[in-house]
Structure 1
Amino acid sequence: MSDQLPGLDLDAFAAWFRGHRPDAGHDWAAELVAGGKSNLTYRVTDGTDRWIVRRPPLGHVQATAHDMGREFTVMSALAGTAVPVPGTIALCDDDSVLGAQFYVMELVEGTPFRDAEQLGALGEETTAHLCDAMVDVLAALHTVDPAEVGLDGFGRPEGFLARQVNRWGKQMAGSRTRELPDGDRLLAHLASHVPTDGGAPGIVHGDYRLDNLLAVPTDPQPVKAVVDWEMSTLGDPLTDLALLVVYDRVATMVPALGVSDASSAPGYPSPDALMTRYAAARGLDVDALTGAMEFHLGLAHYKLAAILEGIHHRFVAGQTVGGGFEHIGDAVEPLLAAGLRAATGKD
């Protein structure tokens, strides 16, 4: 561990944190948690106890992205439900401490499984068990009544999908570094095909995938915590399911991207199997669910492309921390082309 890292002034953090934990020690150290290409996540210790600190990335930050308050609020609300989340400790809105909003949460022991090699070492049966739990936790999240956990004002579910199209269009426009004609065509198609008969709104994670879960795969309940809630809101739950399917495809589109290729591991369910288990867990008709997914898959491709273009923007500007960013931009155009095919029923 290091005593100083970009974006984390440990002296300033320790002085602030003692306002919440007066008995904290004095032997402070921290390390940047590997794998994050968006918000910065640090493992921090006072020499005795350990916590996780989350803050936005350095440099180019979209106004609607990297909202630490959203993460803190939704995880605090979900504590005690069937959705496992880390315990939250404190949120800091004072930018003078670390230069941005940040929060502290408990450290949960578990592994974020990112690739087929990791899952291959578990074996096919254990991988299937873990993935079944991944889908079941997503279904459990979507059955939580927002009002019962104090989140009825967390978002505006009316017009959610139209706002999503508008939001990610603006996000792309604010981050794009080049012409993206398939992106323009996909955005126009989505804007003119927003579903008007969506189901009941629910709590949407916004970035649900296997490596945003901390897991102990051999445990009867392997998912120990769902993390990275920065894009959470109230809205159409199928957006989470669609994004999960798209994440499972992106590694094969651009192998050099270095993103999770977990879906190629033996035992990892196919998209049809994912949707079938999800439908069963929520009591939905699987055929109706499959038929509703064209728009959502198109939107999921566009959303992921916008996120990656934003990361590429920061990389080009020299504002990223750590490695593994040089191929991020290569995935944007294939994602937009695949999204256009999916949204128009050609894939």
Structure 2
Amino acid sequence: MHDRGPDELFHRGRVRRFLESHGLGSGAVEAERIGDGQSNVTFRVTQGDRTLVLRRGPRPPLPKSTHDMVREARLLRALAASGVPVPEILAVCEDEHVLGVPFYVMPFSEGVILTDTEPEPWCNAESRTSVSAQLVDTLVDLHQLPIAAEPIASLGRPAGYLERQVRRFGALWDVNSTRRVPLVSELGSWLAARVPTPQAASIVHGDYRLGNVMFAKPDGGGPRVILVLDWEMATLGDPLADLGYLMATYAEPGRAGSVMQLSSVTALPGYLTRNDLAERYAVRTGLDLSAIAWYQVLALWKSAVFCEAIYSRWLAGERPGDTAFAPRLEAGVLELLDQAHGIMRGGEPEAQ
């Protein structure tokens, strides 16, 4: 990592001075990018024998009301005593002269994030069932937190959340895309005409999936959740939006994959299926899931819209170095829309 112009993602000298000014270390700083996030950027930062994590937004220009690290840090501090496992915030930088955007720093946690491989001790049906059951249970715990008191109450407006989501993302396609895809407006119209009546209001994580949940390293016992990560899109709204997103982006045998299925391990024998996830959630919350297909369509449609924004930024040269994810989106966005359309019509495309 070298110090360069103001649009670079990491500046060793500036970060070093920031950390030292907050009593978080001294000496030379090194960093490497970690995680699979395609929006905000996370670095593992080493300084002497100490390891930290720095989380920041992407290069400017940033869309309005997105990538707000200060807001995210404020939420995590508010949740620190809630029982939901969230990262500890050590320091927040609001001075955009340091990295061009605000960022925050948290401790580095040794743990396991499941993507396409598993630790050998967990390669069995019992561990896999435990992982997916804990995935649901942690989400339920989040959705059952009280939201009436500050600072949680100011996180968002639960009333009208679903309508705002449909309206907002319906307007974003034309802003962020240079190609015409009629299915975007067809799905948007279908969603707008069938908005369910929310049964509850809760914190909505907004990107809740296996890849954003960290488990403790195997220690002779079974899997154990230790952190829920990436709270950028958290707000107050309908909790079934999180469940619909989890189900729609969850890999399982016999279903077509997508660019949003970032943890392919769940297609292995032993993991709960999408329907199993829903049943466990319903039992623990008492919510009626008869309209869950609507929430899955919403999740895939929204994913297509923000993936199209990533693709357009890559085409415009605003995501230099992204040779893995963004090029896949030319076809990947269309596949997300096709899957949403399949659910809308009452079925889903089979795996090819």
TM-score normalised according to structure 2 size = 0.89
What per-residue deviation string (whole Å, max 9, x for no partner) do you get for residues 269-308 of structure 1?
11110011111222x15xx31x121321111111111121
What per-residue deviation string (whole Å, max 9, x for no partner) do you get for residues 217-252 of structure 1?
645561110001110000000000000111115995
What is the rounded CA distance, in whole Å, between the counterparts of 1:11 and 1:55 in structure 2? 16
Match of 1:206 in 2: 206
1:14 maps to a residue whose letter is R
Contact residue 248 and residue 262 of structure 1 kept, 8 A: no
Cα displacement (A) at 1:119: 6.6
What is the rounded CA distance, in whole Å, between the counterparts of 2:283 and 2:338 in structure 1? 31
Match of 1:85 in 2: 86
Match of 1:165 in 2: 166
Cα displacement (A) at 1:337: 2.3
Match of 1:7 in 2: 9
SS at 1:306 equivalent:
helix
Match of 2:69 in 1: 68
What is the rounded CA distance, in whole Å, between the counterparts of 1:164 and 1:81 in structure 2? 27
Q: Rate the CA distance shift 1:34–1:159 in 2: closer, same or farther, 3 A.
A: closer
Match of 1:231 in 2: 233
Alignment of 1:110-129 (within 5 A): 110-115=111-116, 117-118=117-118, 122-129=123-130
Match of 2:329 in 1: 328
SS at 1:203 equivalent:
strand
Q: Percent identity?
A: 33
How many residues are matched?
Answer: 339
Higher helix share: 1
Cα displacement (A) at 1:124: 2.1
Contact residue 131 and residue 268 of structure 1 kept, 8 A: yes
Q: Rate the CA distance shift 1:253–1:60 in 2: closer, same or farther, 3 A.
A: farther
Cα displacement (A) at 1:254: 4.9
Structure 2: any 5+ residue segments left out of the alignment?
A: none
What is the rounded CA distance, in whole Å, between the counterparts of 1:96 and 1:145 in structure 2? 37
What is the rounded CA distance, in whole Å, between the counterparts of 2:252 and 2:132 in structure 1? 18
2:275 maps to a residue whose letter is D
Cα displacement (A) at 1:69: 2.2
Match of 1:216 in 2: 216
Match of 1:314 in 2: 313
Contact residue 20 and residue 26 of structure 2 kept, 8 A: no
What is the rounded CA distance, in whole Å, between the counterparts of 1:213 and 1:122 in structure 2? 18
What is the rounded CA distance, in whole Å, between the counterparts of 2:56 and 2:248 in structure 1? 26
Does residue 276 (structure 1) correspond to residue 291 (structure 2)? The answer is no
2:194 maps to a residue whose letter is H
What per-residue deviation string (whole Å, max 9, x for no partner) do you get for residues 165-201 of structure 1?
1122233232223111111100111122222x21121
Greater Cα offset, 252-261 or 51-60? 252-261
TM-score normalised according to structure 1 size = 0.90
Does residue 57 (structure 1) correspond to residue 64 (structure 2)? The answer is no
For CA contacts below 8 A with separation 6 or more, give which structure has more relative contact order: 1
SS at 1:138 equivalent:
helix
SS at 1:35 equivalent:
coil
Q: Rate the CA distance shift 1:220–1:81 in 2: closer, same or farther, 3 A.
A: farther
Match of 1:293 in 2: 292
Q: Give structure 1 regions of 4+ aligned residues with deviation exceeding 6 angstroms.
A: 255-258
What per-residue deviation string (whole Å, max 9, x for no partner) do you get for residues 17-68 of structure 1?
32322x6211211111142222110011221211111111124532232221
SS at 1:17 equivalent:
helix
Cα displacement (A) at 1:127: 1.4
Q: Rate the CA distance shift 1:227–1:324 in 2: closer, same or farther, 3 A.
A: same
What is the rounded CA distance, in whole Å, between the counterparts of 1:199 and 1:145 in structure 2? 15
SS at 1:53 equivalent:
strand
Contact residue 86 and residue 107 of structure 1 kept, 8 A: no
Greater Cα offset, 142-151 or 47-56? 142-151
What is the rounded CA distance, in whole Å, between the counterparts of 1:236 and 1:315 in structure 2? 32
